[in-house]
């Protein structure tokens, strides 16, 4: 394993760039698809129960994502920092950093899971959910939030292996979880008539084997990184770096998800049909953007290791090739999915209600036509994140929702009186605006300054 990891590092630092992107991105894309299948599997089975059940998941999912995104700022920081240390060939420091990151993430996971479990009823009530929608939402959120320690162990495994250039092992681990979830969902939701509660239990149970395997792999050794706490001593400087890189990522991701939550609250005012359609459209559209997300993750690895090795030009080359691949792919696929005759059969998989299908198809077609802007946004965000400039990514992520999306929503809804159409246009226009902004920041060279500084650390 250590030899394989060392070979992957050399490939990232000196191999053919197209080959590097392919080797890193393809397993990440598959992994992202697997993770999306968790949600899509729940969506499929729950949508067969009714609009109230579907609306409840749509309402509470952003709450779950806020919490998970905040905590994932720690493991994201880990991936960036470990990549830089490995690129600089400071393996000892990379191991010390990994131990600090895992300890921080576990403390956060246990404390946050308990607090969120207690606060769930008040949060769902604040969202404006009532009756069955509220009851189903509380049940689902309380169960899935308890899997945070399991999820962060899996995330840590993914961060470590991806930092080493191994993107296949995390894919296989998540494939195991998806397979279990795929089996448990119909069994618990339909066969045992557990409904929304069954979907939540299935999601929780599916993570248990993966977390156990991840913990064993991280602690047994074999790769460049091993997590153990023999002779462990707390390093204040390491903790400062985690906070410096991770906190902006956590705040940016969670505030963006809070914006999604408030968007769901706005959509809920149009009724459970509009809310269900909004959820279906978002989930289906996320499928064609998966390759772009995977390429973005590959960019972070490439940029992190190459900047750690002092190879700025190679880091930029990886970003530019990745961006153009993403833009071309999403432009072609988006044009295909924006055809109503293509979108409608896909939406029908998730709903049998004609009104829901009508709204979901309209929303999906509009989003798909504009999704190519993600081909700029995701790799550029990954460039800044891989370079350690998470303050920039925090500002751009937050402004996408809190400035551009809500401003567009206000103009379309209150000024132009466009009704539910306001939600659709606010999504695509805010995505396009922030894609332009992050690209301009890249052209200004704001990513080039060394934000991690691993060169001064001891060997």
State pLDDT tens for residues 47-87.
778 878 888 887 787 788 778 777 777 877 788 889 999 99
Query: What is the Cα 194 distance to its own chain's centre?
Result: 28
What band does 244 get if pLDDT is binned at 50, 70 and 90? confident
Reading the block at residue 85, the tokens are 């240390």
Q: Can you tell me the mean pLDDT for 277-286?
A: 79
Q: Is the pTM for the entire model greater than 0.75?
A: yes
pLDDT surpassing 80 at residue 283:
no
Q: Residue 376 has what pLDDT?
A: 94
Q: Can you tell me the mean pLDDT for 220-232?
A: 83
Q: Can you tell me the mean pLDDT for 253-280?
A: 76
pLDDT surpassing 90 at residue 121:
yes
Q: Which of 36-40, 65-69, 246-250, 330-334 has the highest mean pLDDT?
A: 330-334
Kindly report, residue by residue over 347-382, the tens digit of the pLDDT.
Answer: 888 777 888 888 888 888 888 889 899 999 999 999
CA–CA distance, 363 with 110 (Å, rounded to integer): 38
Residue with tokens 């109230």: 52
Can you give the residue ranges of every domain in the chain? 2-443
Share of the chain above pLDDT 90, in %: 33
pLDDT surpassing 70 at residue 2:
no
pLDDT surpassing 60 at residue 46:
yes
Q: Can you tell me the mean pLDDT for 84-103?
A: 90
Q: Which of 6-10, 94-98, 413-417 has the highest mean pLDDT?
A: 94-98
pLDDT surpassing 50 at residue 249:
yes
CB-based contact 57:138 (threshold 8 Å): no
Share of the chain above pLDDT 70, in %: 97
Q: Can you tell me the mean pLDDT for 434-453?
A: 88
Q: Residue 327 has what pLDDT?
A: 94
Q: Residue 173 has what pLDDT?
A: 92
Buried residues in 272-298 as b, exposed as e (16+ CB within 10 A): bbbbbbbbbbbbbbbbbbbbbbbbbbb
Q: Can you tell me the mean pLDDT for 241-248?
A: 86
pLDDT surpassing 90 at residue 150:
yes
CA–CA distance, 282 with 160 (Å, rounded to integer): 30
Greater confidence (31 vs 312) lies with: 312
Q: Residue 51 has what pLDDT?
A: 79
Q: Which of 60-64, 161-165, 203-207 has the highest mean pLDDT?
A: 203-207
**Angle formed by the axes of helices 272-288 and 354-370, nearest 10°:** 40
What band does 459 get if pLDDT is binned at 50, 70 and 90? very low
pLDDT surpassing 90 at residue 319:
yes
Residue with tokens 């008539």: 193
In the three-class reduction of DSSP (H, G, I as helix; E, B as strand; rest coil), residue 349 is classed as coil
Mean pLDDT of the chain: 86
pLDDT surpassing 60 at residue 457:
no
Reading the block at residue 329, the tokens are 């792919």
DSSP string, 83-150: HHHHHTT-HHHHHHHHHHHHHHHHHHHHHHHHHHHHHHHHHHHHTT--HHHHHHHHHHHHHHGGGHHH
CB-based contact 407:373 (threshold 8 Å): no
């Amino acid at each position: 394993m250590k030899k394989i990891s060392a070979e992957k590092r050399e490939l990232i630092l000196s191999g053919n760039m197209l080959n590097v992107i392919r080797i890193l991105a393809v397993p990440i894309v598959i992994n992202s698809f697997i993770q999306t299948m968790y949600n899509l599997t729940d969506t499929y089975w729950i949508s067969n129960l009714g609009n109230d059940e579907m609306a409840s998941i749509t309402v509470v999912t952003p709450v779950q994502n806020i919490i998970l995104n905040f905590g994932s700022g720690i493991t994201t920081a880990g991936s960036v920092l470990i990549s830089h240390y490995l690129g600089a060939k400071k393996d000892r420091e990379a191991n010390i950093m990994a131990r600090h990151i895992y300890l921080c993430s576990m403390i956060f996971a246990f404390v946050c899971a308990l607090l969120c479990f207690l606060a769930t009823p008040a949060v769902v009530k604040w969202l404006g959910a009532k009756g069955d929608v509220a009851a189903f939402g509380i049940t689902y959120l309380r169960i899935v939030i308890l899997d945070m320690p399991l999820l962060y162990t899996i995330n840590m495994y993914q961060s470590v292996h991806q930092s080493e250039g191994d993107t296949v092992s995390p894919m296989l681990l998540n494939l195991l979880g998806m397979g279990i979830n795929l089996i448990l969902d119909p069994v618990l939701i339909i066969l045992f008539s557990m409904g929304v509660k069954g979907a939540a239990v299935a999601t929780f149970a599916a993570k248990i084997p993966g977390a156990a395997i991840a913990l064993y792999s991280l602690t047994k050794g074999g790769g460049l990184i091993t997590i153990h706490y023999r002779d462990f001593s707390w390093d204040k400087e390491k903790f400062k770096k985690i906070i410096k890189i991770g906190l902006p990522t956590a705040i940016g991701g969670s505030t963006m998800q809070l914006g999604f939550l408030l968007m769901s609250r706005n959509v809920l005012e149009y009724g459970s049909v509009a809310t269900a359609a909004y959820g279906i459209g978002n989930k289906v559209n996320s499928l064609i953007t998966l390759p772009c997300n995977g390429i973005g993750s590959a960019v972070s690895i490439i940029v992190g290791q190459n900047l750690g090795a002092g190879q700025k030009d190679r880091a930029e080359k990886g970003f530019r090739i990745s961006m153009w691949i993403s833009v071309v792919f999403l432009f072609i696929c988006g044009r295909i999915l924006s055809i109503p005759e293509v979108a409608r059969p896909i939406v029908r998989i998730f709903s049998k209600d004609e009104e829901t299908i009508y709204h979901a198809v309209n929303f999906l077609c509009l989003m798909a036509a504009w999704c190519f802007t993600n081909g700029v946004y995701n790799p550029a965000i990954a460039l800044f994140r891989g370079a350690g400039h998470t303050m920039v990514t925090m500002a751009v992520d937050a402004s996408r929702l809190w400035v551009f999306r809500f401003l567009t929503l206000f103009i379309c809804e209150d000024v132009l009186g466009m009704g539910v159409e306001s939600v659709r246009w606010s999504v695509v226009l805010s995505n396009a605006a922030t894609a332009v902004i992050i690209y301009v920041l890249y052209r200004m060279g704001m990513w080039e300054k060394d934000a991690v500084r691993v060169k001064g650390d001891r060997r």
